[in-house]
Chain A
Amino acid sequence: MAEPAIAAAHMSLGYAGRAVLRGLEFQVPTGSRVGILGPNGGGKTTLFRALTGEIEPLSGHLEVNATTATVAQTDRSRLDYPVSALDVATMGSLARLPWWKRPGRAERRRAREALAEVGLAELADSTFGDLSGGQRQRVLIARALTADAELLLMDEPFTGLDTTNEQRLEELIDSLAVKGRTVMIATHEVEQAERWDLVLCLNGEQISFGDPAVAISKPVLEATYGGHIVEIPGQPELGVLPAHHHHHDEGHEGAGQ
């Protein structure tokens, strides 16, 4: 068995010596899809920062055996920048090039392939800001592919997408995993997380981790979301009250409209 893409042991994370996320203890095999559940402010962004190496663990141990790329929510990228979809996808090559080297012909060809892989071959020369939200999301994934990222960290990529685009993105995530890339997706949709290989529930600490069938239970969700859980009548799934995350939207993650 190959070594895991991520291994965290007794890890706590935080800023200026103050822990905001404790008790992290998990291993993610290469090529798995991992849903991350938790309220805004629950530590998802902090975990992503640790995985990219932006912050060091306060205690414990973290091993990341993969080149990492983040796919931010697209409204945070500058929509008015004078760049095309191809320009953005090409930026990914900076992760591989020496610092002084500009992306050249080979890098642009590679970026075009990545755009084709996410289904945007025809829109390569469109201005990034003119694309729809779902298309921009996929351009950012193409950028991660151009960067040869083996671990993709997606921060609520489904926010603001319509059903068609949501479905396309899920298919894309599936195909990335099939090709051996590890994908971690922060989401609020419990139902979605249940379809992926692993789930990590966070709320200031690790609530649970593992196969969704085992790791997601009513007590776990109550601990994750602080008790605002309803059982939707006639359906086996558990839902998070919509009012709940609107209430938390002023959190530092600044989720979109």
Chain B
Amino acid sequence: MFEAFSLPFFQRGLAEILLLAIPCGLIGSWVVLRGLAFHSHAVGTATFPGLVLADGLGFAAALGAFGAAALFTLLTVAIARSRRTGADSVTALALAACLAGGVILASDVFNSGANVDTLLFGSLLAIGSGDLWLAAVVAGLAVVASFFVGQHWLARGFDEGASRALRSDSALFDAALLTVVAATVVATLSAVGALLVSTLIVVPAATARLFTARLSTLLTAATLLVAAEGVFGLWLSVQTNAPPGATIAVTSGAAFALALGARTISRRGMWRAAAVAAALLALAGFGAGCGSQSSGGDGPKVVATTTQVGDFVAEIGGDQVDLSTILKPNTDPHEYEPRPSDVQAVADADIIFRSGGHLDDWTEDLIKDSGSDAEVVDLSTHLPVRLFGEEEHDHEGEAHEDEGHEAGGEEFDPHWWQDPVNVRFAAARIESTLSDANPAASAYYQGRLRRFDNQIRNLTRQTKSCVRRVPAGDRKIVTDHDAFAYFTNRFGIETVGTVIPALTTEAQPSAGDLADLEATIRRENVKAIFPEESVSPALSEALAKDTGATTEYSLYGDTLGPAGSDGETWLGSMKSNVNAVVAGMSGGKVTCFGGQDG
């Protein structure tokens, strides 16, 4: 039950949360006393554009976050002072502006996705030494500021009218408080992310305030509460294999509810009802656990990052690998947050197979943070076909003009497995890696590779002949994700624009993009629109309604399907995609694969 405490990544998470308890507890108490709860939440969100800028321009994330937080604070204070508007409405306005600015920067300026995401959500399982240093420095800052300026924060908060006579009304004291709040928020980002900072800063202090009547007890209780909730939440996340940030948020929320309930009960003498409720809660808590999973095979311990790579390793390794796949079916790889079992699996792994590119670039952090010394194989590096992302295309409907043109500086398109030829190479590489690691099973791996390779070649041959049955002029599709360039490139199909004109599902399309696309669909007489499985189909449906093209078929893009679905394996997902594309292009007249063939 407590073996997790011996894992290095867990210990770093523990150290981080214990360090953060100091600034979060101290400054959180002041935030609550001075009515800055909404402000601190807003500062957390306001770091978003700073993080995007730091990611896009390549400077330290903490610097970007602090810059944005400081700018946000200055702006709200200045506006609230000059206009005598309610500080809350100014904060809300600036908050919305920062979020919008971040989205525009992320989707239209830098086309960045995954990196910003990990920062927006943060993780106690991915704490580096830089994060620890930042937390330690901010903890020191919080202690020093509370010690030397705290008396003025208290006097001014308690009685603003008298604060001038007590010389506590200096704007510098308030500036110091807001600065430390911003620093605390920035330090907390890496643990729980921008959207959940208040769970460590505001909620524990608000809980402590319910049952403390002196400042010193409040400061102590809030600090201890952050530490307790953080450690408990982290431990619980390992037990339940849930993301730690969210687990801590739920823990601190529950603690607040319990404290509020206990206070109400002790004032009304409802002890019996309280005991029953507490017993029920405890039962519910212990029933919620669930374990981590691996294939349990013999042979080397192997981690695969994506569902496709996991499937390839399973095809080659069979029961002679102990395989853990990090991404779950139907999870958008861009929205991945590491879970305790993932870090554990990476820490224990002998070999890690990566899909490569921006789809799983979080792997590097995961490997570094887990202390793993596994051999890392990036399958995307040695492939016969490597495509690169489109340049900012101003000419609608000609999205494929630069396909296959490998100009330097363009982003590698990581969806290489949509081309079966690439998969044959990747499979061979997996076989040789596994054989090197486990020579005893080499013949077994080679036998499975031959079988898999045959299946891939059959699939390719059948798909080509099937696509040829669709009239050449009809071989056009619209899909809402640029994931299918390898597929269409291999089989001579034209992609007429994409609903989301960027490589990641993070980006949002503009109204102009959509209007251009609708015009193109009408002009080119496109018959089918394909929403990708893991992306919300609402956009595609809106387009279909306007243009009359069908959206009844869907494609497997970034992820395979869950167990039992057509797309459970890569072969299955490819057949399903081919069927859908061909049926869509031919108006349902052509089908390629029946239920059982292969």
Contacts and interface: CB of A to CB of B under 8 A. Distances in A.
A156 interface: no
A79 to B, nearest CB: 10
B166 interface: yes
Nearest to B151: A102
Contacts of A70: 161-162, 164-165
A81 B33 contact: yes
Contact of B152 (A78, A94, A140): A94
A81 B162 contact: no
Interface in B353-392: none
B212 interface: yes
Contact of B162 (A69, A99, A127): A69
B151 A103 contact: yes
Given A91-B151, A94-B152, A82 B166 contact: no
Interface string B141-184: 00000011111101101110110111110100000000000000
B167 A94 contact: yes
B213 interface: yes
Contacts of A103: 151
Given A76-B159, A77-B158, A94-B151, A68 B165 contact: yes
Interface in A129-166: 140, 143-144, 147, 149
A180 interface: no
A100 B148 contact: yes
A127 B214 CA distance: 8
B158 A95 contact: no
B215 A94 contact: no
A117 B215 CA distance: 25
Q: B150, B154, B218 — which one has the most chain A CB atoms within 10 A of its CB? A: B154
Q: B157, B162, B212, B213 — which one has the most chain A CB atoms within 10 A of its CB? A: B162
A113 B9 CA distance: 55
Contacts of A95: 165-167
Nearest to B147: A102
Contacts of A99: 149, 152, 167, 170
B481 interface: no
Contacts of A54: 164
A91 B157 contact: no
B214 A84 contact: yes
Contact of B159 (A77, A84, A147, A149): A77
A130 B168 CA distance: 25
Contacts of B212: 82
B217 interface: yes
A87 B164 contact: no
Contacts of B213: 82, 84, 127
B209 interface: yes
B166 A53 contact: no
A83 interface: yes
B516 to A, nearest CB: 53
A220 B13 CA distance: 74
Nearest to A130: B213
Nearest to B209: A82
Interface residues of A, number: 32
A72 interface: yes
A17 to B, nearest CB: 16
Interface in A46-88: 52-54, 67-72, 76-78, 81-84, 87-88
A72 B217 CA distance: 27
A204 interface: no
Given A82-B218, A87-B215, A99-B152, A149 B161 contact: no
B165 A149 contact: yes
Q: A71, A83, A127 — which one has the most chain B CB atoms within 10 A of its CB? A: A83
Contacts of A67: 165
A167 to B, nearest CB: 25
A92 interface: yes
A127 B105 CA distance: 51
Contacts of B148: 100, 102
A83 B214 CA distance: 5
Given A87-B215, A99-B152, A100-B148, A78 B157 contact: yes
A91 to B, nearest CB: 5
B33 to A, nearest CB: 7
Contacts of B152: 94, 99
B267 to A, nearest CB: 14
A100 to B, nearest CB: 5
Contacts of A77: 158-159
Q: A82, A88, A99, A127 — which one has the most chain B CB atoms within 10 A of its CB? A: A82
Contact of A83 (B147, B209, B215): B215
B60 to A, nearest CB: 31
Contact of A82 (B150, B161, B215): B215
Contact of B154 (A53, A83, A143): A83
A221 B361 CA distance: 81
B575 to A, nearest CB: 66
A200 B167 CA distance: 28
A52 B155 CA distance: 16
Nearest to B162: A70
B157 A76 contact: no
Contacts of B214: 82-84, 87
A76 B161 contact: yes
A231 B299 CA distance: 106
B167 A72 contact: no
A95 B149 CA distance: 14
Contacts of A143: 162
Q: A53, A71, A99, A103 — which one has the most chain B CB atoms within 10 A of its CB? A: A99
A70 B159 CA distance: 10
Contact of B166 (A72, A83, A87, A91): A91
A148 to B, nearest CB: 11
Nearest to A54: B164
A88 B166 CA distance: 12
A95 B147 CA distance: 17
A162 B412 CA distance: 80
B166 A92 contact: yes
Nearest to A74: B159
Contacts of B167: 94-95, 99
Contact of A72 (B159, B170, B215): B159
A102 B33 CA distance: 19
Q: B149, B166, B217 — which one has the most chain A CB atoms within 10 A of its CB? A: B166
Interface string B112-154: 0000000000000000000000000000000000011111101
Given A87-B214, A95-B165, 14 more contacts: A53-B164, A71-B162, A72-B161, A77-B158, A83-B154, A91-B158, A91-B159, A92-B166, A94-B151, A94-B167, A95-B167, A140-B162, A147-B165, A147-B166
16 contacts: A69-B165, A70-B161, A70-B164, A72-B159, A72-B162, A81-B33, A81-B154, A82-B209, A87-B214, A91-B159, A94-B152, A99-B149, A99-B152, A99-B167, A99-B170, A149-B165
List the 10 closest A-B pairs by CB distance, nearest first: A94-B166, A69-B165, A72-B161, A100-B148, A77-B159, A91-B155, A127-B213, A82-B218, A95-B166, A70-B162
